[in-house]
Amino acid sequence: MSEVLPNPSPPAQGDLRGVLAIPAFARLWRAMAFGSLGDWLGLLACTALAKQLAGDDYAKANVAIAGVFIVRLLPAVVIGPFAGVIVDRFDRRRLMYTCDILRAGLFISIPLIREFWWLYTATVLIEAITLFWSPAKEATVPNIVPRDRLEAANQVSMLAAYGTAPIAAAIFSLLALLHSALSIQVGSFSTNPVDLALYLDGLSFAFCAYTIYRLKEIPKSKGGPEGDKTNMMRSLIEGWKFVGSTPLIRALIVGMLGAFAAGGAVVGLARTFVGDLGGGDAAYGMLFAGVFLGLAAGMGWGPRLLSGFSRRRLFGVALTLSGVGLVFLAAIPNIVIAFITTIFLGFCAGTSWVSGFTMLGLEVRDEVRGRTFAFVQTLIRITLVLVLAVAPVIAATIGKHTLKFNNTQLIYNGAEITLLLGGILAAIVGIISYKQMDDRKGVPLWGDIMEALRGDIGVVNLHAKKGIFIAFEGGEGSGKSTQAKELKTWLESQGRVVTLSREPGGTEVGKKIRQVLLDPATGEVAPRAEALLYAADRAEHVESVIRPALDRNEVVISDRYIDSSIAYQGGGRILPSEDVLRLSRWATSGLVPDITVVLDIDPRIGLSRCMDKDRLESEPMEFHERVRRTFLELARVEPERYLVIEANQSHTEVKRIIRDRFAALLAAPENRVAK
């Protein structure tokens, strides 16, 4: 389970200026921006230098440029898996500024030596060093910004990473123009513009190192040598097991790779695709710029546009749309439409990317965060190598095809068909991710989107939790209170700390609300007023009891939770269930139980067990039958989160079924008690 930062401030999603007002993060962001600028500038300069060193040999020049891309990506395959483990064992600040100093020196050395062998060697070393710097930075950000600002922090971080690409290109072009002007004015001026770019690149990393050196707020990793004597390979394997055994993390990573592959397919095939459409270098540059403009816009404004929308849903929807955009790009062979489509595609990919990184930072424990981010970055680089290497080969193998329909003929080339296939694959990955991560099953997607656009009441659940949250639901007389106590006793015998509470009445404020709601003397209460009272009790219950216990890594058992409001006020009182759910989501900050146990019983049998009936128990049988149907409908919509048990069985049999289910839950790697 993931670490929880104390006392999160009120949500401020999309507050980009606000997160840059945090001094420590602002300084780290400046370092990231200069480092990213240097990285892009270095890529442009190194590929240009490779072409210069190859001379006039066209084939050799293409191989040399491709070699720069390959040697930049290959270290991730060998070093990437180990980089995160090392990051988790050392002082992150010291590691980061040391990496920047080394990168500065290596970039400056490239124009001084000006040989193929050193160009490739230095590039490999620079990329290897970056593999240590990046996960250290990603693991640091969640420790220096409040939880509710993490999404905004990731947005501006990615803007620094990708928004500096066009700036680097402009600087490189200006250096070339400056060189030409100086060569004309000063005949003895012979410094190569590529050399100037590499020297400037080195200075950018030197500034980055100085900034990080002064950033004392960066905490040391909790997995350092003093506190973690585990063998490195064992730590690595455990990190991979954590990713593989955690469904949410696994779905996140697969989806993020899909988003990156979609963008990479455009970059890898853009030149061939544009050439097939009759365009030249200018059109290629326009398409390349469109991808990065879309990425920057998606990272900066995508989540902000739907600030009240579930981030899990947003991730899957944006990823699916990026695949659809890729299909549309391939299907409509037109330069102008292609440019607009690449912006849209980049926007969707950027939105899913920043949403995924935010959830990843929240869900992963600090002590394994470095290796998890390193694992993700390794897979990203491997994916890029495969996309850049395989996509052109597939396109060349497919070749050119002409399709004739009556008097119309359509010419489709290999690049277009490859993009089409890539788009279909990305859309499938997006749909799978959406289904696995959807935290609002039963709520119509389109209606949810429209509500978020209108700014209706809702909440983005950005609160991760350590403990396990269990809710017991069911009709009157189902025995849920008794079974909740039995489960508490058994869990404590398994070494778990358990908090047992109830709704309404789990807090001092709740006890007063409970008296109003259940006392027959209260009389009739308007259904909406009743729903608001239950929501008020629940908001106090979550804030005062449930979330603090989860933060302490306890098991929390609640006798009734959100489903009771949906069943009683939605089903029983015939209020719109979506309204009741939205109100409860807002009251609870989107906190959802890990498991909901529904004890199902015929209302006639259940009510026969009740002696002194309270206000709700006194409702007519039709009311309780609607309540029962609603509980069962909720369980049918999301069966993986519900355990429905026939409550008319013997007490011992019901207890056995419950224990078997939770024994399996406790056996999951993320839920095991630390020894």
User: What is the average pLDDT across 144-151?
Assistant: 72
Q: Answer yes or no: do 505 and 639 share one domain.
A: yes
The helix (run of H) or strand (run of E) holding residue 403 is strand 401-405
User: What is the average pLDDT across 78-84?
Assistant: 67
Q: Answer yes or no: do 546 and 637 share one domain.
A: yes
Q: Answer yes or no: do 516 and 407 share one domain.
A: no
Cα–Cα dist 208/33, whole Å = 9
User: What is the average pLDDT across 522-535?
Assistant: 90
Q: Which of 48-52, 153-157, 245-249, 638-642 is most confident?
A: 638-642
If one counts the domains in the chain, the total is 3
Cα–Cα dist 635/596, whole Å = 9
Cα–Cα dist 543/143, whole Å = 22
- Check residue 392 and give its pLDDT: 62
Tell me whether residue 12 is exposed, middle or buried, using C-beta atoms within 10 angstroms of its C-beta: 0 to 12, 13 to 18, 19 or more: middle
User: What is the average pLDDT across 328-356?
Assistant: 81
DSSP annotation string for 305-334: HTTTS-HHHHHHHHHHHHHHHHHHHHHS--
- Check residue 245 and give its pLDDT: 63
What CATH number did the domain enclosing 586 receive? 3.40.50.300
Domain boundary among 464, 488, 517: 464
242-251, 538-547, 650-659, 665-674: which has the minimum mean pLDDT?
Answer: 665-674
pLDDT, one tens digit per residue, over 430-461 is 888 888 777 666 567 776 677 666 655 544 44
Q: Answer yes or no: do 189 and 236 share one domain.
A: no
- Taking 90 as the threshold, does the pLDDT of residue 137 lie above it? no
Cα–Cα dist 289/282, whole Å = 10
Yes or no: say if 106 and 203 are a contact pair by the CB < 8 Å rule.
Answer: no
- Residue 231's pLDDT band (cuts 50, 70, 90): very low
Tell me whether residue 505 is exposed, middle or buried, using C-beta atoms within 10 angstroms of its C-beta: 0 to 12, 13 to 18, 19 or more: buried
Yes or no: say if 275 and 396 are a contact pair by the CB < 8 Å rule.
Answer: no
140-149, 190-199, 226-235, 380-389: which has the minimum mean pLDDT?
Answer: 226-235
- Residue 625's pLDDT band (cuts 50, 70, 90): very high
Q: Answer yes or no: do 477 and 565 share one domain.
A: yes
Cα–Cα dist 478/631, whole Å = 13
- Taking 50 as the threshold, does the pLDDT of residue 226 lie above it? no
- Check residue 229 and give its pLDDT: 40
Q: Answer yes or no: do 201 and 330 share one domain.
A: no
User: What is the average pLDDT across 188-197?
Assistant: 66
Yes or no: say if 317 and 434 are a contact pair by the CB < 8 Å rule.
Answer: yes
Which one has a higher pLDDT value, 318 or 252? 318
The shares of helix, strand and coil residues in the chain, as percent rounded to the nearest 5, are 70, 5, 25
Inter-CA distances, 647 with 9, 93, 593, 621, Å? 42, 57, 21, 18
Which one has a higher pLDDT value, 336 or 369? 336
Q: Answer yes or no: do 459 and 534 share one domain.
A: no
Q: Answer yes or no: do 19 and 147 share one domain.
A: yes
The helix (run of H) or strand (run of E) holding residue 600 is strand 595-600
Q: Answer yes or no: do 457 and 485 share one domain.
A: no
Q: Answer yes or no: do 183 and 332 share one domain.
A: no
Which one has a higher pLDDT value, 75 or 219? 75
pLDDT, one tens digit per residue, over 166-192 is 677 677 777 777 766 655 554 443 557
pLDDT, one tens digit per residue, over 25-42 is 888 888 888 888 888 778
Return phi, psi of residue 333, to 5°: -80, 80
Q: Which of 229-238, 543-552, 586-595 is most confident?
A: 543-552
Return phi, psi of residue 374, to 5°: -65, -40
CB atoms within 10 A of CB 375: 24
Residue ranges making up the domain that contains 378: 230-464
User: What is the average pLDDT across 551-563?
Assistant: 91
Model-wide pTM > 0.85? no
Cα–Cα dist 581/565, whole Å = 8
- Check residue 48 and give its pLDDT: 74
- Check residue 124 and give its pLDDT: 87
Domain boundary among 229, 247, 271: 229
Place of tokens 């909720």: 634
Yes or no: say if 39 and 92 are a contact pair by the CB < 8 Å rule.
Answer: no
- Taking 90 as the threshold, does the pLDDT of residue 498 lie above it? yes
Cα–Cα dist 410/402, whole Å = 6
- Check residue 563 and give its pLDDT: 92
| Paired tokens of 567 | 């069943």
Which one has a higher pLDDT value, 273 or 592? 592
Q: Answer yes or no: do 536 and 591 share one domain.
A: yes
71-85, 464-478, 604-618, 628-642: which has the minimum mean pLDDT?
Answer: 71-85
Cα–Cα dist 594/661, whole Å = 12
Q: Which of 130-134, 265-269, 475-479, 576-580 is most confident?
A: 475-479
136: nearest Cα among 100, 92, 99, 103: 92
- Residue 105's pLDDT band (cuts 50, 70, 90): very high
pLDDT, one tens digit per residue, over 232-279 is 455 455 556 666 666 667 777 777 777 677 766 766 666 567 666 766
264: left (phi over 0), alpha (psi -120 to 50) or beta: alpha
User: What is the average pLDDT across 595-612?
Assistant: 88
**Alpha-carbon torsion, ordered 34, 36, 41, 47, to 10 deg:** 160
| Paired tokens of 448 | 């949810």
Domain boundary among 194, 229, 264: 229
The long-range contacts involving 282-286, CB below 8 angstroms and separated by at least 24 positions, are 283/335, 286/335, 286/339
pLDDT, one tens digit per residue, over 362-390 is 666 655 665 666 666 666 766 766 776 66
Return phi, psi of residue 15, to 5°: -80, 80
- Check residue 12 and give its pLDDT: 40
What CATH number did the domain enclosing 191 receive? 1.20.1250.20
Q: Answer yes or no: do 513 and 428 share one domain.
A: no
Q: What is the mean pLDDT of the chain?
A: 76
